[in-house]
Amino acid sequence: MPLNPREQRFLTFCTAIALIVIGITVPIKKRVDRIVEHRLKAVMAERVVWNCEGCRAKPLIPVTGQPHQPRAWASLKDIPQQLIDSVIAVEDKRFYKHHGIDLYRTLGAAYIGVKHRESPRGTSTLTQQLSRTLFTSRERTLTRKAKEGLFALALERRLKKKEILELYLNTVPFGNAGPYEIVGVADGALAFTGKNIADVNVADIALIAGVIQRPSYLNPRSHPEAANRRRDLVLKIMRKAGVIDAQVEAQAVATPVRLAELPAENGHYLQLAARELRRVVNANEPVETTLTLDARLQQLGVEAVSRGVDMLNRKAKSGARIEAALVALDPRTGAVKALVGGSSFAASQVNRALARRQPGSVFKPFVYAAAMEYGSRDGALGPYSEVNDIPRTFFFNGKVYAPRNYSGEYQGRITLQEALNRSLNIPAVRVAEAVGYSRVATLARNAGLEGVAATPSAALGSYEVSPLALAGAYTAFTNQGMALKPYLVERVRGWDGNTLYEASPKSASVMRPETAQMLTNMLRGVVLNGTAYLAGRLPFAAAGKTGTDDDGWFVGFTDRLLCVIWVGYDDNRDLGLQGATSALPIWIDFMSRAYKMSSYRFANRLPGPPAQMYGSFSNVDRDPPPDAFTEVSALDTPVLGEQLLRSSR
């Protein structure tokens, strides 16, 4: 039967309305789908499993709040089913029946809202909550609610319910705990209970599920009473939903809430590891990352720094707080085994292992290395070459430089070995002058100490370096003249098991093996007979150098571990203590405890074969007049008259 004109007009109107709706919604749908696809890729790429030696005993909580920081991720199969069921029971009991928006729940909330003349609440499904986390904000506006609904529908079209659950449980916010931004149930379990997600009990599950509703108010660290009441309410909901029975509920209610201490000792290391991970792998997929960290050694480092800082602050007269940093690495590879950026990560997230400070006398070994490597205009130099330790004014580029020995005492003629043992300033600058300031600076820069300039003051460590860079530079002595670049990421694998990145030690040639061996033995002399004599009492062979500027330093190493300690004030004020009394005790505390671990059972020998002591008894005491000064390195003279000398003591 043909349509009458009225019916035709009505059909035309409906068709036009449909076309308009399609014309509007199709572009919106495509745009929403593009946004969802892009954001999901980014979220998936943040899925990181952290592995390291000893990490099973010491869980790692990545510190968030920065774009470079990856998240720990728990797959759905690793999350207890009771936790999944409790979240669904509390937050969205019709989760498996709706397609992103629960119309029944929305209409019911709207009716109650109209009846009581208030805005509808509690209408968001898990999918809508996930949309809010990933795509919108938490502002209470109709526009935000509409966007949230569109994204929820898009997520339900693209993902299975299990995938939505895994995304939700790993991205749901739990508020802050000290310096940590807790995101996802895996971090929530660690932050609140100290347990891995697979090990939580029913009381833990209720506590975690309860925080989701209002993280800022129900966080058990900041609002323990409210969190406890909420936990008990969640247990009741779990019992009514059939997740647990009445007996289990009663036992869980009777269980007191005991919050775990946050494992803040890994914070500075993980911040740096996260940056390195993003630098070495441009991953657009989940990754499994193996770190160089030894969690047990890290714990020893944290404890040594904490004890040392507490002791120094008790004795200090200044109102400011003394701080410290520790870097320990494998001298054979450059792998960073422990890194402590301060006495308390919870109190300050400033990573002092990266802070650039004047190294003082811990730089002097690079001066003597240049002497052994290049010699002077008068011939080759060795540990038993002599230098005149008397007050001296140096002239460079029209400027006067007049250093003094720290003690104010002068020894007259002295060997380079004894000058290093006593950390004397005048001999170090004399040697740098004779070898050539630019040669000293170039050798230091080749070792990784950027920014060292060719000036007399460089010999006394006037150019700032970081503890991490200094640790890498000292590997030139332990590694046959090759300086190793410190690294924290050992290996990265994709979710499919394919290797995306494998670390290989990066090295730079700094000096001959013979030079490295001589310096290692000279630094052993500092420990046996010099400013670091306290370390000579340890039951293993160690070598190292103290340093004192405004700060205190000690760098020491064995055949298996190299450790740098820095001590000072954050505001650069003078510590007023020598490295031997500020940094060295922390080093001894750390290394003596590390020695008890089977992995670091140091040998009674130092890295490399016995040193061959090359050089001559050339004197380093010629004083060129100011108007005739020419830097030796500019002459580019070869090392002269090398002779085999007796081996080191």
Task: Please tell me which residue, 85 or 183, carries the higher pLDDT value.
Answer: 85
- Match 């003051």 to its residue by tokens: 457
- Which amino acid would we find at residue 438? S
Task: Average the pLDDT over 20-37 and give the result.
Answer: 63
Q: Which pLDDT tens digit goes with each residue over 252-308?
A: 999 998 887 765 678 899 889 888 988 898 766 678 889 999 989 999 999 999 999
Q: What is the mean pLDDT of the chain?
A: 83
> Could you tell me the pLDDT band of residue 37, with boundaries at 50, 70 and 90?
confident
> Could you tell me the pLDDT band of residue 83, with boundaries at 50, 70 and 90?
very high
pLDDT attached to residue 631? 30
Over pLDDT 90: what percentage of the chain? 56
Q: Which pLDDT tens digit goes with each residue over 579-597?
A: 999 999 999 999 999 999 9
- For residue 16, give the nearest of 4, 24, 5, 28 by alpha carbon: 24
Task: Average the pLDDT over 373-399 and give the result.
Answer: 91
Q: Which pLDDT tens digit goes with each residue over 213-260?
A: 999 899 898 899 999 999 999 999 999 999 999 999 999 999 998 887
pLDDT attached to residue 147? 78
Task: Please tell me which residue, 5 or 113, carries the higher pLDDT value.
Answer: 5
pLDDT attached to residue 45? 67
- Match 């007796």 to its residue by tokens: 646
Q: Residue 546 forms beta bridges with which residues?
A: 554
Residues 6+ apart with CB under 8 A from 166: 75, 76, 79
Residue 98 has pLDDT above 70, yes or no: yes
CB 60 within 8 A of CB 72: yes
Residue 139 has pLDDT above 80, yes or no: no
pLDDT attached to residue 28? 66
pLDDT attached to residue 570? 95
Reading across the β-sheet that carries 386-389, which strands appear in turn? 412-415, 386-389, 619-620
Q: Which pLDDT tens digit goes with each residue over 307-321?
A: 999 999 998 877 799
